[in-house]
Amino acid sequence: MAAYQFDYSNPCHVYFCGIGGISMSGLAEILLKEGFRVSGSDSAKSEFTEHLSAAGATVFYGQRRENITDDIDCAVFTAAIRPENPEYRACKEKGIPMMTRAELLGQIMTRYKNSIAVSGTHGKTTTTAMLSHIMMKADEDPTISIGGVLPLINGNIRIGGNENFLLEACEYTNSFLSFNPTMEIILNIEADHLDFFKDIDDIRHSFHRFVGRLPENGTVIINSGIDRYEEIVEGFGGKVITVGGEGADIAASEISFDSFARPSFIPVIRGKAMDRITLSVSGEHNVYNSLAAIAAGLELGIPLRTIEEGLMSCSGAERRFEKKGETNGVVIMDDYAHHPQEIEATLKAALRCPRKELWVVFQPHTYSRTKALMQEFADALSLADKVVLAEIYPARETDTLGVSSSDIAEKINLVSPGKAVALPSFEKITTYLLEHLSTGDLCITMGAGDIYKVGEMLLGKR
């Protein structure tokens, strides 16, 4: 795509293809606040598109070549948009400069003194939420771009001052290699997005290149539990801060949990034990997410007491171990987990909660991920007492791999006969659950697609 440089002293007309996406909508709102003329398209009306329309954007429903008018100065596309898209083709034919969402975000980041990018295969949204609470508690007035709905800011974007920009940085299609951070958080590096990356070594190479995006006086905060993490930061001359278990610069000791799996722990900062901190989110994995947020807060000069207050006030973003309600004595929860390691972490947290039986209703996300990590999915889901599998959510893919949710169910049932069932529709899943759930059970809908609708159907909200 042709390079395009924005001149904020002379705002222009920017078109967003896929303007209703959680990241694209946030960037569109930032440009609106900067005085740009914003238009764009999406497939259907949503809270995000309606909010942008109310803020002054022109939103088209349906992606058509006639949406691309000659007065557009630049068009922004996500990685999901293919060259055959009619708006993409129209921009090419008209010679309208185009850029990726990541390239636009990279340009926006340069306008801030501190640009903090939270990365990793999983845990990004929760850690960004934690650091949002910390920075807001410290009156840092951050601009925030998060990949989920954060109740603290009533959405996925907050426009603040020009000192601090906090964002969630995704590695898919190497989009984070267009960013210009001054501080990076790397939470973990696992095999994922294998429809783009060749293997785990390819992913590690991208994270190494990501560290190379930092300036010489930049800071990288990295989980010491990452396999050979030293290779990821090799050659970087700035500050490296490790977080994690014993021996890390910032570690956690004496971890304990309440009856809802919410942890408390003693942070050990460069060998010195501090006062115990209690989190309002569940699971041991969030202890290590919070260590990264603590490290970032300290680097920003925020007092530890304020950091603690921010962490205690953070109950996470929507769809992160979120209680949706109760029906007939059954607790219904929802979680965004869609990678085996995320599923394992969430279910381990759920196993600490009061319950009779633990049910998980899982919707695999993309055919490529399901095929590549089939056994890992089966192993992680087997932590639950009962497993119900929905059809695969295709997202950007078409089914060319001959894989289905029934394949996961078969692997689970080989070890634990009768534990798993795959059903073809949300309606059939809801009927099955209503017939089999019992008072005292805990049921978690799980996945990155629209499986949350099953929980809403169980609660009579749909």
Question: CA 4, CA 103: separation in Å to the nearest integer?
Answer: 9
Which is the catalytic residue, given 49, 78, 121, 125? 125
Integer CA distances (angstroms), 430 to 361, 392, 425, 459, in order: 10, 17, 9, 10
Nearest to 362 by CA among 257, 256, 264, 433: 433
Cβ atoms of residues 307 and 292 within 8 Å: no
Q: Write out the H or E segment, with its range, that includes residue 266.
A: strand 263-269
SS3 content of the chain, % helix, strand, coil (to 5): 35, 25, 40
185, 116 Cβ separation under 8 angstroms: yes
Q: Give me the catalytic one of 29, 103, 168, 184.
A: 168
> Which of these is catalytic: 121, 124, 182, 453?
124
Using an 8 Å Cβ cutoff, are 200 and 188 in contact? no
Look up 113 and say whether it is catalytic: no
Q: How many residues does the chain have?
A: 462
| Dist. CA 120–CA 135, nearest whole Å | 20
| Residue in 173, 169, 249 with CA at minimum distance from that of residue 213 | 169
Q: Which two tokens stand for residue 32?
A: 């609106």
Sheet containing strand 74-77, edge to edge, reads: 58-61, 37-42, 13-17, 74-77, 98-100
Contact partners, residue 155, CB within 8 Å, separation at least 6: 51, 149
Burial grade of 244 (CB within 10 A; 0-12, 13-18, 19 or more): buried
Closest CA to 171 of 201, 154, 192: 192
> How many whole angstroms separate alpha carbon 29 and alpha carbon 104?
13
Active site residue 400: no
| Cα of 175 vs its chain's centroid, Å | 14
Cβ atoms 444, 422 nearer than 8 A: no
Q: Is 124 a catalytic residue?
A: yes
**Who contacts 202 (Cβ-Cβ below 8 Å, separation ≥6)?**
none
Catalytic residue ranges: 124-125, 168
